[in-house]
Homo-oligomer: A and B are copies of this chain.
Amino acid sequence: MTEQTILDQKSINTIRFLAADAVQRARSGHPGTPMGAATMAYTLWDRFLKHNPTNPDWPDRDRFILSPGHASLLLYALLHLTGYDLSLEELQNFRQWGSKTPGHPEYGETPGVEVTTGPLGQGFAHGVGMAIAERWLAEHYNRPEHEIVGHYTYAIVSDGDMQEGVTSEAASLAGTLGLSKLIYLYDDNDIQIEGRTDIAFGENVAQRFAAYGWQVIGPIDGNDVAAIEAAIRQAQADTERPSLIICKTIIGYGSPEQDTAKVHGEPLGEEGVRAAKETLGWPQEPAFYVPDDVRDHMRQAVDRGQAAERAWQERLEEYAEAYPDLAERLQAELRGELPPGWDEGLADLFPPGTAPMATRNASGKVLNALVQRVHALTGGSADLAPSTKTALAGYGDFGWHEYCGHNMHFGVREHAMGAIAGGMALHGGVIPYAATFLTFSDYMRPPMRLAALMGLRVLYIFTHDSIGMGEDGPTHQPIEHLMNLRAVPNLTVIRPADATESVEAWRAALLNRSGPTALIFSRQNLPVLDRTEYASAEGVQRGGYVLWDSDDATPDVILIGTGSETHVALDAGKRLAAEGLKARVVSLPSWELFDRQPANYRESVLPADVRVRVAVEAGTRLGWEHYVGLDGAVVGMDGFGASAPAPILYEKFGITAEAAAAVARDLLGR
């Protein structure tokens, strides 16, 4: 063996036993994959990965994703060894409260973790989003002799990832787009939790990825550094297609129970760790052993990374001289800033007198106005652009080696769309949006949850938001969806009542930098409220506001509506006022924004003493007691919808002003 080979093996074994020792110490975790995939990961990081451990935020770094997040120690070991701010003590505190080494990699918790992984398939699909953002920015900003954006997106992906549908969706799109800077290493170890993979996974993965339009390399020996190095070079050489490198590996390599499901998700046990160290010729003591030569060798990543970033900074300076405006905008976009005056003129889009309009149409107009100023806005829908009104007119399509367009075509792939949007936001430089019908938000819940957990600025546009979408029937009519989105921590949901509130909803969404926003729009036309008569739509920024009071005095009854049902509530309020009652109508488009207001503001909208409250929303009643309590009432849906024209559905399901007024009278004992 050459000296290099010996050092490679020592480094790889260091990673393996940092993982085995940390899992053993935590008495919890997954040793098998770090031990099996250590060679793949080491080779990639040592020979290829462009990164600067002292600046994990360098925009042009290569992205590395560990899609099987349960193998987190593989990543933590690499981060520690290459010089990130992650001490050995942190590895020794694996899975403990307050450590930087949670059970699965958590974006924002650990320097160098590019994306939260754990739910399988998500890492794979988020990587596709990163590669899309990279190409989009490269196309928009690189100029002849000025390559400012140009990096790879690498991932290690597992058998479990390969089985998830979101992976199939993302892989098919990546092939369609020809994302050649996407290079994935497949840790093909033939084991899953229930046994050998052939019990559930008999397919030919190589053939499947070839069908998607990927370059497929291998199977190669996943313990062979030279073979992995050659494969990655071959992957880089293909400038037309993404590449999948199939690496045959042995889960729990070196342990007595290697190549079985037993090493997947439990500590090896003291005896197991001891035996593995013996098998691989590793010192039994100390635990968490890092040989000095390994540390020196791997820490060279810092020098290499700093030099690479310096070179890039120099290129950026030259670029800034040649293209000052572009350079400035790029950097602002990378910082996630909105340009000055980004929302100017929006409020004038829908003046008093505007004809009734579906809020999806209003949204389309706002979005098309926004993109004129907010260059970073890019996104698309899961094959519903004409219905969700999300096409950006004049901004081109993003397609096979045509990476300049703002309009993404995700195909009928809501799940991958959600993950790709998350990956784009993680990459930075773009503000992604993803659109479909509200009912199909069900297909994309896992990546929406991850975006909320990671605090990503992703915009979801969900139209056809109730039985008001009409004839397509119950499969297409959301019932539980609004509430289910509201229940996700750190996801802001806004359901505007009309075109003017739609403007404010979009403003709020773009201003929300600490998490995703779901914008909820109607299919059907809704009156545009005359804001000279009613309170300003700017109230949307506070989540809820008094839209109309019949009287200055304390109201007898408060009617609360969202979206299309705000108009139902308003009509009911006017009916009650005509009967001599003091009625208040509250527009409450966003629970999250409202609940964040100071108590005195909330009290001014919903006075604690007024308990006769009626909420109106064409969705599940569940949850509305948050505002109406046990003494109020909810006019909502008790079951699924039906197929018929929308006005008939509102009548049949009793979501009407008449019904709301009747409920209020009932509560008032009249």
Q: A residues engaging B (CB < 8 A)?
A: 26, 28-29, 69-70, 95-99, 102-104, 106, 116-121, 159-161, 163-169, 172-173, 175-176, 192-195, 197-208, 210-213, 261, 265, 381, 383-387, 397, 399-400, 409-413, 415-416, 439-440, 442-443, 445-446, 449-450, 452-453, 470-476, 479-480, 483-484, 486-490, 608, 611, 620, 622-623, 625-626, 629-631, 637-640, 642-645, 648-649, 652
Closest to A632 in B: B630
Query: Which of B172, B476, B631 is within 8 Å of A201, CB to CB?
Result: B172
Closest to A644 in B: B97
Residues A176 and B204 in contact, CB atoms below 8 Å apart? no
Query: Which of B103, B397, B475 is within 8 Å of A450, CB to CB?
Result: B475
Q: Nearest 6 pairs between A and B by C-beta?
A: A165-B165, A102-B643, A200-B411, A168-B168, A629-B630, A118-B475
CA distance A292 to B553 in the complex (A): 72
Please name all residues of chain B whose beta carbon is closer than 8 Å to the beta carbon of A116 when the two chains form the complex. 474-475
Closest to A470 in B: B28
Task: Report if A165-B416 is in contact (Cβ < 8 Å); known contacts: A175-B202, A200-B173, A211-B204.
Answer: yes
Please name all residues of chain B whose beta carbon is closer than 8 Å to the beta carbon of A207 when the two chains form the complex. 207-208, 210-211
A209 CB → nearest B CB, Å: 8
A451 CB → nearest B CB, Å: 12
Query: Which of B96, B163, B410, B470 is within 8 Å of A644, CB to CB?
Result: B96
Q: Most chain-B CB neighbours within 10 Å: which of A118, A176, A200?
A: A200
Residues A106 and B474 in contact, CB atoms below 8 Å apart? yes
Please name all residues of chain B whose beta carbon is closer than 8 Å to the beta carbon of A386 when the two chains form the complex. 193-194, 261
Residues B103 and A413 in contact, CB atoms below 8 Å apart? no
Task: Report if A211-B211 is in contact (Cβ < 8 Å); known contacts: A29-B471, A412-B163.
Answer: yes
Query: Which of B102, B117, B265, B487 is within 8 Å of A622, CB to CB?
Result: B487
A99 CB → nearest B CB, Å: 8
Closest to A192 in B: B383
A614 CB → nearest B CB, Å: 14
Residues B471 and A199 in contact, CB atoms below 8 Å apart? no
CA distance A473 to B213 in the complex (A): 36
Please name all residues of chain B whose beta carbon is closer than 8 Å to the beta carbon of A397 when the two chains form the complex. 199
Please name all residues of chain B whose beta carbon is closer than 8 Å to the beta carbon of A98 when the two chains form the complex. 644
Question: With contacts A104-B643, A172-B201, A208-B212 known, what are 5 further pairs, Cβ within 8 A?
Answer: A104-B476, A119-B475, A197-B411, A207-B208, A489-B638
Please name all residues of chain B whose beta carbon is closer than 8 Å to the beta carbon of A201 when the two chains form the complex. 172, 176, 411
Closest to A475 in B: B118
Please name all residues of chain B whose beta carbon is closer than 8 Å to the beta carbon of A261 when the two chains form the complex. 386
Q: Most chain-B CB neighbours within 10 Å: which of A198, A476, A643?
A: A643
Task: Report if A104-B475 is in contact (Cβ < 8 Å); known contacts: A120-B412, A386-B194, A488-B480.
Answer: yes
Q: Most chain-B CB neighbours within 10 Å: which of A95, A202, A490?
A: A202
Please name all residues of chain B whose beta carbon is closer than 8 Å to the beta carbon of A119 when the two chains form the complex. 439-440, 442-443, 475
A566 CB → nearest B CB, Å: 21
Please name all residues of chain B whose beta carbon is closer than 8 Å to the beta carbon of A120 when the two chains form the complex. 412
A646 CB → nearest B CB, Å: 10
Query: Which of B29, B164, B172 is within 8 Å of A203, CB to CB?
Result: B172
Query: Which of B70, B169, B385, B638 is within 8 Å of A163, CB to CB?
Result: B169
Residues B411 and A163 in contact, CB atoms below 8 Å apart? yes
Closest to A170 in B: B165
